[in-house]
Amino acid sequence: MTHTEPIERVDAPYPRVVARERRPRWPGIARAAGELLVTAGLVVLLFVVYELLVTDVIADRQQDRLSQELYEQWDRAGVEPAELTRVEIGDAFGVLRIPRLGEDYARVILEGTSERVLAQGPGHYAGTAMPGEQGNVSLAGHRVGKGSPFLELDLMEAGDPIVVETVDSWFVYRVLGDVATGDLEADPSGIPGRRIVRPTDVEVISPTPDAPETAPATGAYLTLTTCHPEYSARQRLVVHAQLDGPPLSKAQWPDGPAALYER
C-alpha cells in the first residue's frame, strides 16, 4: 500500500506593509488660503465697482426723477413770491448749481443728511438756515459714489458763485476769500473759503461758521461739506460762501442770474 504523505501546509508569507511618506499639510493650507484671498479680492473689487459706478448711475436716475417731480410741483405753484418754510425729512425743496463744477451742474437738494437721503443727492442739515435767510445754509454730499455730487469741491476758488434755486427765487452765494489774490483764507470776515476739518468740528455749520451753535448769525452764509480725502471719511472738506445781494425773482429772471454763466 502506498503510503500517502500528509499534505504539508505552507503558510503564505505576510504581505509587506510599505509605509507611505507623510506629505506636509502646508501646501494644501496655503493653496486654500490663496483661493480664499482671490475670492475675497473679487468680492472687494465688485463692491468697489458697485460703490463707484453703479451707485452713481442709480443716483443720477434718482436725480432725474427728483428734478422732474420738483419742477412739476413748482409749475403748479407758479412763480409768485412764496416763503420757503421748513420741509419734511427726505423732501426736495431746491436745486444747487455750481458753475465751477460745470455749466450743467445741477443737483436737487433734499432735507436731511441720513444715508438714505445722501444716496439721492446733497442733503440739508436740518435746523440750519434755509436759502436767503440769515444764518448758515448747510449742505452735505458724497465725495465719491452715490452720484459723487461734491467730488470736485476742492476746485472751488475765492469769489466763485454758488446758486440755489427755489420755487420762486434765485440766491447767489460767493465763496469767501480774497478774490484779488485768490487766497481762500484771507476773507475780511475771518472765515476761510475752503478748509479741511475733523468730523467732530461741527461749528462749521453754526449760524456763523466757527462761532458757538447758540450764537446769533452775523450774516447769510452757505456751507458745503463732504468727506476728505477721496475714498475716506477721515476728515471733512468744507467750503464757505456768503450771500451776494438780495434774492432774484424767477419771474424777472426765468433763465437764472448772470452768475450762472460765469466761467
Q: Which three cell numbers stand for residue 65?
A: 426723477
Domain that holds residue 194: 48-261
Measured in degrees and rounded to the nearest 5, phi and psi for residue 129 equal: -60, 155
Whether 147 is covered by a domain: the verdict is yes
Q: What was the pLDDT predicted at 39?
A: 59
pLDDT above 90 covers a percentage of the chain that reads 71
Average pLDDT over residues 76-85: 63
Q: Which three cell numbers stand for residue 110?
A: 433734499
Instruction: Please name every residue paired with 195 in a beta bridge, in sequence order, or none if there are none.
Output: 238
CA pair distance 112, 201, nearest whole angstrom? 19
Whether 12 is covered by a domain: the verdict is no
Q: Specify the residue for cell string 453754526.
A: 206
| SS3 per-residue string spanning 34-79 | HHHHHHHHHHHHHHHHHHHHHHHHHHHHHHHHHHHHHHHHHHHHCC
Residue 148 gets the label, from left (phi > 0), alpha (psi -120 to 50) or beta, of left
What pLDDT digit, counting tens, does each position of 124-173 carry? 999 999 999 999 999 999 999 989 999 999 999 999 999 999 999 999 99
Q: Which residues are catalytic?
A: 142, 227, 236
Q: What was the pLDDT predicted at 49?
A: 45
Whether 15 is covered by a domain: the verdict is no
- pLDDT for residue 251 is more than 80: yes
- From residue 70, alpha-carbon distances to 65, 135, 146, 166, 229 in Å are 9, 25, 20, 10, 32
Report how many domains make up the chain: 1
- pLDDT for residue 254 is more than 90: yes
CA pair distance 261, 100, nearest whole angstrom? 10
Q: What was the pLDDT predicted at 9?
A: 43
Q: What was the pLDDT predicted at 57?
A: 84
Average pLDDT over residues 72-78: 86
Whether 128 is covered by a domain: the verdict is yes
Q: What was the pLDDT predicted at 41?
A: 57
- From residue 112, alpha-carbon distances to 141, 161, 181, 198, 220 in Å are 11, 24, 36, 20, 20
Whether 11 is covered by a domain: the verdict is no
Name the range with the highest mean pLDDT among 27-31, 36-40, 182-186.
Answer: 182-186
Average pLDDT over residues 203-217: 97
Whether 16 is covered by a domain: the verdict is no
Task: Check which CATH number belongs to the domain holding 76 and give it.
Answer: 2.40.260.10
pTM of the predicted structure, to 2 decimals? 0.80
Whether 202 is covered by a domain: the verdict is yes
What pLDDT digit, counting tens, does each position of 188-209 carry? 999 999 999 999 999 999 999 9
Whether 35 is covered by a domain: the verdict is no
